[in-house]
Amino acid sequence: MENIIKIRNLSKNYGTVKALDNVTLSVPKGSIFGYLGPNGAGKTTTLKILMGLLQYSNGSVEIFENEVKKNPVAVNRRIGFLPDAEMPRNDSIYRFLNLTGKLHKIKNKEERISEVLVQIGLKKLSNRKIGTLSKGQKQRVGIANALMVDPQLLILDEPNNGLDPIARVRVLTLLKDLVKNGKTVLLSSHIIGEVDKIATDIAIIHRGRIVEQGKRKNLVKRYLNHGKYVIAGKLDIDQVMRSLEYITSCQQDHLERYIISTTGNVTEEQLLIDLIQKANSKIQYFSSAEISLEDLFIETINGQLKEGDYA
Amino acid sequence: MNIPIFLAQFKHDLWNEKLKFLILFLLFTFQVLASIISIFYLEELLTLFSLDFINPTPPSGAAAFLDYFADQFFFGILIISLGTMNVFASEIENGSICFSLTRPISRSEYTISRLTARLIGLILPFLLATFVGWVYMGLFFELFPITTLLFAIIPLVLLFIYVGVVTSVLSSRTSSLTAGLATIAIIIVQFTISAFKPIELLSPFTLASFWSEILSSSVSFDLDHFLKLVCLIVWSTVPFILTINSMKTRDL
């Protein structure tokens, strides 16, 4: 499949800090590409480099077969971008989108503004100053701005930040529709659940390095020999963890149920129940759970954590 | 440079300066009118407050404008410095520049547009207010020729541009506050230099006395003044180029 973005051996340093370390990444045409990573992993840095906002020390970055460094303006012309940044406070929504329309030389500018504002549910507020809008409304203006160009490629940095559930669903549906129409979407997020709903391709970045990359279904398949179970009851967690070494993690959810992840082949659930009960525990409820992208993410990142992370 | 793109951005930026423009126009107009009125009534005021032992300069339009321009030498420069200290810094600090620079506009076009719009927003109110003052002066004094006013205003406007671009180059690299404070520090150093005859051309402030000479009609536009004007233009151009270059290469 044709790749719309090709990043090869990309490195970026902030002083002595390595923000990106030899990143190689390809975004296939017509995909919804989820770019995941914990805070400070290098997601925004990568996206800013793609948009020509940051210089890079090594590597090459191509979008639509054009090297970004050589002609960022030509590349920007075909991309809709939503940065994870504050918006200009003094512009009205209309003026803000109007300038985007003018600079992109959009022919039916007025119609297009009206169209994107309807899509994003802000038509009635078009004359309001951006500074007076709520965080979620501002985010929607940002998305409307990215959509203005009817872009071949949409790059969104944390698009669901501040959005209410209705707006969130609306945006996700909108992105799915765009991809159906042949567009490509690259979205970065640390809210994995949202990405899980729509992404076709995934890359996980941690400490500036790509640690997983590929088709979502292939990546999750790789983890299918892992198990995930929901258990309610009285569990002696320390003993369970000590005695059953194939349990990789055990966490309690808000209903005080235990979510247990196992590695290797735990083919028989009854065997697991028996083993847990032997470890000084009493099970009242047991069921297996579907492995999500979030599990894959946590598993991947946990494997990479070093002492002092999240300290 | 892509002219239609530049003009679209410039129009947008200029419109954003409208509030600043209005406030500064009112402020400068108040200052110029106050100077004219105070010079006209100065003798009476001194008598009223029993200060008639002070021998004031004879009231005239030129004296009023000298007073006004002398005020601007401090007040105007401060306004320009304050007005340009956030020209790039605040947008870079809050990240909203990411929206501007991911539109299809080059960094140079964007930088020139923003800086020019900001300088116009700060300097045009001064020019208009000065013109209003010149017209108003006719009610009190004999009008001196408009060409005299134009000649006198050139060094001050160039000085404003110089201060504006110095602040902007700093604004493209540091925070708003640092840019403002650093500009004031630079002004103080250069103002001090201008007091020393052998190295005065190293300072753009040597023209400070220029308008007083013009307004008191004692000036002949000699080579020395011409040289000083050229120096001031060079002084303004260098930081202008530095600003464009700084914005071109910096990480945002």
Q: Do A3-220 and A225-289 have matching folds?
A: no
Give just the sign of the alpha carbon dihedral A112, A115, A120, A121: positive
C-alpha A155/C-alpha A68 separation (Å) is 14
- Measured at the CA of B221, the angle between CA B220 and CA B225, to 5 degrees, comes to 120
Quote the ipTM score.
0.81
C-alpha A119/C-alpha B70 separation (Å) is 57
Which of B4, B5, B249 has its CB closest to that of A55?
B249
- The residues facing A128 across adjacent strands are none
Task: Report which residue type is found at A185.
Answer: V
Beta-carbon count within 10 A of A155 CB: 28
| Run of H or E including A234 | strand A227-234
The per-residue pLDDT string of chain A (311 residues; one tens digit each, 9 = 90 and over) reads 688 899 999 998 888 888 888 899 999 998 999 998 888 888 999 999 999 888 887 889 999 888 888 888 888 888 999 998 888 888 899 999 999 999 988 888 899 999 889 888 888 888 899 989 888 888 889 989 998 988 889 999 888 887 888 878 888 888 888 888 888 999 988 777 778 778 889 898 888 888 888 888 777 776 666 777 888 888 777 777 777 777 777 777 777 788 887 776 556 677 778 777 777 778 888 887 777 777 777 767 766 666 556 55
Tally A–B CB contacts below 8 A: 72
- Mutation site, A49, A73, A105, A145, interface B, largest B CB count within 10 A: A73
Q: What is the DSSP letter of B54?
A: S
Which residues on B lie below 8 Å from A51 (Cβ)?
A: 98, 101-102
The minimum CA-CA distance between A61 and chain B, rounded to whole Å, is: 16
C-alpha A161/C-alpha A141 separation (Å) is 12
Beta-carbon count within 10 A of A298 CB: 17
Q: What is the pLDDT of residues B178-236, one digit of tens each?
A: 888 888 888 888 778 777 777 766 677 776 667 777 777 655 666 667 777 787 788 78
- Mutation site, B10, B88, B98, interface A, largest A CB count within 10 A: B98
Which of A54, A88, A105 has its CB closest to that of B99?
A88
Domain boundaries, chain A: 3-220, 225-289
Q: Answer whether B119's CB lies under 8 Å from B84's CB.
A: yes
Q: Do A103 and B99 touch (CB under 8 A)?
A: no
- Mutation site, A103, A138, A149, interface B, largest B CB count within 10 A: A103
Which distant-in-sequence residues (6+ apart) come within 8 Å of B242 by Cβ?
Answer: B169
Quick one: closest CA in B to A148, which residue? B103
Which residues on A lie below 8 Å from B95 (Cβ)?
A: 83-86
Domain formed by A3-220, architecture: 3-Layer(aba) Sandwich (3.40)
C-alpha B99/C-alpha A218 separation (Å) is 35
Q: Do A54 and B95 touch (CB under 8 A)?
A: no
Residue with tokens 């002083």: A15
Strands A153-157 and A184-189: parallel
CB of A103 within 8 Å of any CB in chain B?
yes
Which of B8, B94, B102 has its CB closest to that of A102?
B8
The minimum CA-CA distance between B7 and chain A, rounded to whole Å, is: 10
C-alpha A213/C-alpha A262 separation (Å) is 22
Query: To the nearest 10°, the Cα dihedral for B25, B28, B29, B35?
Result: 180
- Fold type of domain A225-289: Alpha-Beta Plaits (3.30.70)
Domain boundaries, chain B: 3-249
Q: Do B96 and A103 touch (CB under 8 A)?
A: no
Which of A74, A86, A103 has its CB closest to that of B96?
A86
Q: Which residues of chain B have pLDDT under 70?
A: 52-56, 200-202, 207-209, 217-224
